[in-house]
Amino acid sequence: MPAKIVMYATGTCPYCIRAESLLHSKGVSDFEKIRVDIEPSRRDEMMTRSGRRTVPQIFIGARHVGGCDDLFALDRTGELDRLLHGDNT
Protein backbone atom coordinates (compact mmCIF):
# COMPACT_ATOMS: atom_id res chain seq x y z
CA MET A 1 0.00 0.00 0.00
CA PRO A 2 1.50 3.37 -0.98
CA ALA A 3 2.48 5.68 1.85
CA LYS A 4 0.61 8.92 2.49
CA ILE A 5 2.72 11.93 1.52
CA VAL A 6 2.36 15.42 2.96
CA MET A 7 4.43 18.34 1.69
CA TYR A 8 4.40 21.80 3.23
CA ALA A 9 5.24 24.25 0.45
CA THR A 10 4.75 27.68 -1.08
CA GLY A 11 3.70 28.42 -4.62
CA THR A 12 6.93 30.09 -5.71
CA CYS A 13 9.61 28.08 -3.91
CA PRO A 14 11.95 26.49 -6.48
CA TYR A 15 12.89 23.72 -4.02
CA CYS A 16 9.21 22.88 -3.55
CA ILE A 17 8.79 22.67 -7.31
CA ARG A 18 11.87 20.39 -7.64
CA ALA A 19 10.65 18.12 -4.83
CA GLU A 20 7.20 17.88 -6.40
CA SER A 21 8.77 17.07 -9.79
CA LEU A 22 10.78 14.25 -8.25
CA LEU A 23 7.67 12.80 -6.65
CA HIS A 24 5.81 13.00 -9.97
CA SER A 25 8.73 11.27 -11.74
CA LYS A 26 8.35 8.44 -9.21
CA GLY A 27 4.71 8.02 -10.20
CA VAL A 28 3.28 9.89 -7.22
CA SER A 29 0.26 11.81 -8.37
CA ASP A 30 -1.77 12.04 -5.19
CA PHE A 31 -0.30 13.74 -2.15
CA GLU A 32 -1.37 16.44 0.25
CA LYS A 33 0.30 19.77 -0.48
CA ILE A 34 -0.18 22.30 2.28
CA ARG A 35 0.49 25.81 1.02
CA VAL A 36 1.80 27.78 3.97
CA ASP A 37 1.78 30.96 1.86
CA ILE A 38 -2.00 30.63 1.49
CA GLU A 39 -2.64 29.24 4.98
CA PRO A 40 -0.04 30.98 7.20
CA SER A 41 -1.37 29.31 10.36
CA ARG A 42 -0.21 25.97 8.93
CA ARG A 43 3.44 27.17 9.09
CA ASP A 44 3.32 26.81 12.88
CA GLU A 45 2.01 23.27 12.40
CA MET A 46 4.86 22.56 9.98
CA MET A 47 7.49 23.91 12.38
CA THR A 48 6.06 21.90 15.28
CA ARG A 49 6.02 18.68 13.23
CA SER A 50 9.39 19.11 11.52
CA GLY A 51 11.41 21.37 13.81
CA ARG A 52 12.31 23.41 10.73
CA ARG A 53 11.20 26.78 9.36
CA THR A 54 11.94 26.39 5.64
CA VAL A 55 9.91 24.82 2.85
CA PRO A 56 9.47 22.26 1.58
CA GLN A 57 9.03 19.94 4.54
CA ILE A 58 8.06 16.48 3.39
CA PHE A 59 6.52 13.60 5.32
CA ILE A 60 6.17 10.10 3.91
CA GLY A 61 3.92 8.06 6.13
CA ALA A 62 4.79 9.03 9.70
CA ARG A 63 8.41 9.80 8.77
CA HIS A 64 9.70 13.34 8.34
CA VAL A 65 12.14 13.05 5.44
CA GLY A 66 13.12 16.73 5.42
CA GLY A 67 13.38 19.11 2.52
CA CYS A 68 14.23 18.94 -1.17
CA ASP A 69 17.91 18.03 -0.74
CA ASP A 70 16.96 15.32 1.75
CA LEU A 71 14.40 13.89 -0.68
CA PHE A 72 16.97 13.75 -3.50
CA ALA A 73 19.50 12.11 -1.15
CA LEU A 74 16.94 9.40 -0.33
CA ASP A 75 16.39 8.89 -4.04
CA ARG A 76 20.12 8.45 -4.67
CA THR A 77 20.33 5.67 -2.06
CA GLY A 78 17.17 3.91 -3.28
CA GLU A 79 15.44 4.46 0.07
CA LEU A 80 12.87 6.83 -1.45
CA ASP A 81 11.35 4.04 -3.54
CA ARG A 82 10.98 1.84 -0.45
CA LEU A 83 9.34 4.65 1.52
CA LEU A 84 6.94 5.50 -1.29
CA HIS A 85 5.75 1.90 -1.34
CA GLY A 86 5.07 1.88 2.39
CA ASP A 87 8.20 0.02 3.49
CA ASN A 88 9.25 1.84 6.64
CA THR A 89 11.71 -0.81 7.83
Query: What does the domain layout of the chain look like in residue ranges?
Result: 5-84
∠ at Cα 3 (37, 46), nearest 5°?
A: 25
Query: What is the chain's pLDDT, residue by residue, as a tens digit (89 residues)?
Result: 688 999 999 999 999 999 999 999 999 989 999 999 999 999 999 999 999 999 999 999 999 999 999 999 999 999 999 999 987 65
According to CATH, the topology of domain 5-84 is Glutaredoxin (3.40.30)
pTM of the model: 0.93
CA 40 to centroid of chain Cα atoms: 18
Task: Name the β-bridge partners of 8.
Answer: 34, 57
Helix ranges (H only) for the chain are 14-25, 41-50, 68-77, 79-84
- Secondary structure (3-state) at 59: strand
